Amino acid sequence: MKAIKWTYQGNPFYTHFKKHFCPRCGTKVKLGYDRKIIYRDSIIEARNYDFSDLDTNWLNSVDFRTRCFFCPNCEINISFKVMKEYEEKRYQFQRKGRG
Ligand SMILES: [Zn+2]
């Protein structure tokens, strides 16, 4: 048996209502997800993931999906964290630019 577990970083306001653009090419990004299948028995990897609220007795693996942005032009995933850092830097740069 396999389970799917969604993890969210960031709040819905940030992800859904603000416009976000690809740091690489400037295209408006869509919402996507990063996917990683972790086997319960993979000692090293499983340690980094939260299996705590899952009934692991009957599970072999969990499909961990993390929300992120997806650039349809570059075909890359951009995590919320990376996007936030990029936007903060750009904002500071714009403020500096105006003097
Ligand atoms: Zn792009």
- Which amino acid type is present at position 2? K
pLDDT confidence of residue 96: 75
Residue-wise pLDDT for 29-86, tens only, equals 999 999 999 887 887 788 888 887 777 677 788 999 999 999 999 999 999 999 999 9
* Cα angle: 80, vertex 82, 83; to 5 degrees: 65
Residue 15 Cα to ligand 1 middle (Å): 17
Residue-wise pLDDT for 21-45, tens only, equals 999 999 999 999 999 998 878 877 8
**Long-range interactions of 37-42: CB distance < 8 A, separation 24+:** 37/2, 37/61, 37/62, 37/63, 37/64, 38/62, 38/64
pLDDT confidence of residue 26: 96
Written as six digits, the tokens of 79 are 């995590």
Q: pTM higher than 0.75 for the full model? A: no
**Do the Cβ atoms of 32 and 70 come closer than 8 Å?**
yes
pLDDT confidence of residue 23: 95
Residue 44 Cα to ligand 1 middle (Å): 32
